[in-house]
Amino acid sequence: MSEPPEKPIRDRTSVELFAGGGGLAMAVHRAGFRPLLVNELVKYACETLKANAATPRGETEHIPSPGERWPLVEGDVRDVDFNYLWDRVDLLAGGPPCQPFSLGGVAKGDEDKRNMFPEMFRAIRQLQPKAVICENVRGLLRPSFKPYFDYIERELCLPFEERDDDTTWREHDEVLRKRLDEAPTDPKRRYEVVTTRVNAADYGVPQVRNRIIIVAFRSDLGVDINRFKEAVRPRYSEAALIRSMLDGSYWKRHRGVPAHVRRRVMSRLPDTPPKADDDTLPWRTLRDAIKGLDDQSRLPQVPWDRLDRREYHLGGVTDHIGWPDARIYAGHTPNELDRPAKTVKAGVHGVPGGESVLLTDDPLPEPVERAAYPYRHRYMTVRETARVMTFPDTWKLAGPRGEQMRQLGNAVPVMLGEFFARAIATALDEAESQP
């Protein structure tokens, strides 16, 4: 079951599109927003949502009461009518499919039929939410796509200026530019947009994951945009992690690390600590995730003789299953315990390559001369990967391993999403409390 918000702000409401395995939906919920509708197309992702927090809505346009499970509409977002929720929604959230813009995708950009940004704009026109949050890949900012991304931002500023079917995006962009130079006739139909480049590690997620977070506030609310930008600045840093290793506080937290591992890690650090000119906290590492973030307990070790795809319920934790045949080679390097994990990816076939290989503390049984990685390695378990994405251990993932990993790779890290959702809630509270 999804965890309740730590401190409800008000009875704020949300709608979640492209919900996937539930990372952003859970984050928004934990930040105090009550989901009125959740939409997802993929079968196993829908099963995950239903196993944890959602109930199929059916054909009835039901508006849930506080405490009810999330109404899930399974199927293509293009078939969903949002009009019954007009002016009832505080936050519209979603990560439109990013394949058109990712370096790993086919790179067709706005011509790709998987581009779902137009559906986000349609939802805004039918909901008129107070705020919007989208997460997507940094590929949107590549030079080849930057003109189109600028157009997306302008379209988000003026979502009610609907594009005709026979109008190109460049022609529509010219219309938007002119409208933005004019005073709005109705501030409720215009939005103030803030795009933030983020590395999830800078927000306490034990993973290097470079993304963009796009947030929009309805103009009539008078949200202090500069104050919001300050509220979402990074809170963690690599420099603080290095300082914690050099001053010993990191190793004090991980007392059981073998001396030979610690020496190897320390040998790669600078002799002089990075300047302590900020108040950031140390990046969290893969070792931190396995030990347990916040109130989590340590994950048990996976025995080397149990890399056999079988569930042994190690420590009572689900999806903590050993997997065989992990390899390391050039361009296929492992995750190291004393760094944030590499970016979790969905992968064409579910389980990616080196991104899910874990280098352990155990030396190789037979030392290899000049080995780049003199330790044994294995695939990360689904549960370890879920921790890297900051999902709670109670969150159940549906489907076989490949589908579970796909859901995690496509998700928004819960901690990152919650950080931004809480900042949005605070911005709305402050704006609405003004006389």
Cβ atoms < 10 Å from Cβ of 300: 14
The residues with which 188 forms a beta bridge, in sequence order, are none
Count CA within 13 A, CB hemisphere, residue 422.
Answer: 17
Q: How far apart, in whole angstroms, are the C-alpha atoms of residue 56 and residue 123? A: 20
Q: How far apart, in whole angstroms, are the C-alpha atoms of residue 380 and residue 90? A: 38
The residues with which 357 forms a beta bridge, in sequence order, are 379
Nearest to 290 by CA among 405, 200, 385, 378: 385
Q: How far apart, in whole angstroms, are the C-alpha atoms of residue 246 and residue 244? A: 6
Q: At what angle do helices 23-30 and 414-432 cross, to 10 degrees?
A: 40
- Start-end of H helices in 117-186: 117-127, 146-157, 169-180
Tokens linked to 26: 């859970």
Q: How far apart, in whole angstroms, are the C-alpha atoms of residue 96 and residue 118? A: 9
181 Cβ contact partners less than 8 Å away, ≥ 6 residues apart: none
143 Cβ contact partners less than 8 Å away, ≥ 6 residues apart: none
- List the catalytic residue out of 46, 98, 134, 157: 98
- Tell me which residue has tokens 């549906």: 398
Nearest to 16 by CA among 32, 1, 28: 28
How would you list the strands of the sheet with 33-40, edge to edge?
Answer: 54-56, 70-74, 33-40, 12-17, 91-94, 131-137, 210-218, 191-199
Helix (H) or strand (E) holding 416: helix 414-432
Active site residue 98: yes
- Start-end of H helices in 12-93: 23-30, 43-52
Give the active site residues.
98
